[in-house]
Each structure stands twice: as C-alpha cells, then as structure tokens.
Chain A
Amino acid sequence: AQSVTQLDSQVPVFEEAPVELRCNYSSSVSVYLFWYVQYPNQGLQLLLKYLSGSTLVKGINGFEAEFNKSQTSFHLRKPSVHISDTAEYFCAVSDRAGNQFYFGTGTSLTVIP
C-alpha cells in the first residue's frame, strides 16, 4: 500500500516570497505522484504530476516539483507567490496499476499581503 505525508499543515508566506510545500511518500512499489490545489469552496484542480522521466516537473501557475526517489519526496515549489495562491494543497499518490489513490492530509497555504 502507498501513503503520503505532508508534514506542514499550515504555511504562511508573504506575497512575492518563495514557498516550498513538503510531501513524502511511502511505497513498496513504483508510484505516480500528483499535486492538487483546492481553492475555498471549490473542487480540486491538478497542478502537476510525475509519471516518469525528468525528475523536475513544471505545472500550472508557476509551480514546479522535484521527484527525489532516494528521499521519497515530491516537494512543491514556487519562486514568488501571489495572494491568489492562497488555497489548500494536496499531494497524492497512485499505484502504477491505477487501483489505488490516496491524498495527503493537505497543506493550507496563506499568502500575506
């Protein structure tokens, strides 16, 4: 089975500052990794995903993430955040057979003006 850990439940950051949201996964098999964002009172939207290939993945809205197999991590980064980035961010993992899908507990990003 797979699992995902997001150690930071809340991350406050000033506008235009960089941010990193941490995600670590646990699995005995190869997995696919995802970051989704949920804006207040909305559904979720995919930011980016890692399936294979280059370990640096670029997504929408200026976000990127790096897959690190040795550290079993998939941290999300943005060099300069905007007020509109305030949202809940979920890291997620699926097995390669597409039979299981788990979200992490989420990180609430608050961008301070």
Chain B
Amino acid sequence: DTEVTQTPKHLVMGMTNKKSLKCEQHMGHRAMYWYKQKAKKPPELMFVYSYEKLSINESVPSRFSPECPNSSLLNLHLHALQPEDSALYLCASSHRDLQETQYFGPGTRLLVL
C-alpha cells in the first residue's frame, strides 16, 4: 500500500473559522510533510515532521498549526486564515527524510472567503 490519503478533498472556510486538514499513511514512513501549492505554481514546503517531531518549519505564519499525533497521522490546524491562503494543500511522506522518494496525497483544495 503506497497510498497517502487526505481529508477533506475540498474545504471552504471563512476567515474566522477553525478547521483541520488530515493526512494518513500506512507505509511505515517516519517522515511526513505539508506543502502548499498555489495555482500554476510548484509546491512549497511548509512543515517537516521526522519521527513525530517537528524538524522544519519554513517560516509559516502561526495561523497554520501542524500536529503529528502518531507516526501514521498528520494534521494541519487552520485558524484565522486569509484569502491569500487559498491553495491546494498537499501531504507527503517518505521513509526518513527529504532525500528519499516522497509519496504524495491528492491534496485538499482550500478556499478562504
């Protein structure tokens, strides 16, 4: 099973809402990632979790809050987002780190109104 699942597929939220994106993998990978992808742009790395610990935060605003409850799950909590945060949010995982093959989920398409 080389699948990374993400829920929900689509999300519309207002600027005062609180919502969460979820990501799950059962490949035994110990590294998980969040990326943000704007339309017609490449994915940009936001967060890296390694062995359930946050190892890289690429200067992401605090209105994005990641969480890794266990080695299979990765959440991204959203609060007080701005319209410019509308994007496709991709989750990925790999065995240990960014040098290795990353397996991507299909993404959550977020629209902030």
Contact = CB atoms under 8 A, between A and B. Distances in A.
A43 B101 contact: no
Interface in B91-106: 92, 96-106
B106 A99 contact: no
A98 B102 contact: no
A43 B107 contact: yes
Contacts of A106: 40-42
A24 interface: no
A53 to B, nearest CB: 15
B4 interface: yes
Nearest to A49: B101
Contacts of B101: 46, 49
B99 A96 contact: yes
Instruction: Provide the main secondary structure of the chain B interface.
Output: loop
B90 interface: yes
Contacts of B42: 90, 103-106
A104 B98 CA distance: 16
Interface in B72-111: 90, 92, 96-107
Nearest to A101: B98
Contacts, number: 47
Interface centre among A32, A43, A90 (most CB of B within 10 A): A43
Nearest to A92: B42
Contact of B106 (A43, A96, A101): A43
B45 interface: yes
A98 B97 contact: yes
B96 to A, nearest CB: 8
B12 interface: no
Interface of B: 4, 40-45, 56, 90, 92, 96-107
10 contacts: A42-B107, A43-B4, A43-B104, A43-B107, A44-B43, A98-B96, A98-B98, A103-B43, A103-B44, A106-B40
Closest A-B pairs by Cβ, 4 of them: A98-B97, A43-B104, A103-B42, A101-B98
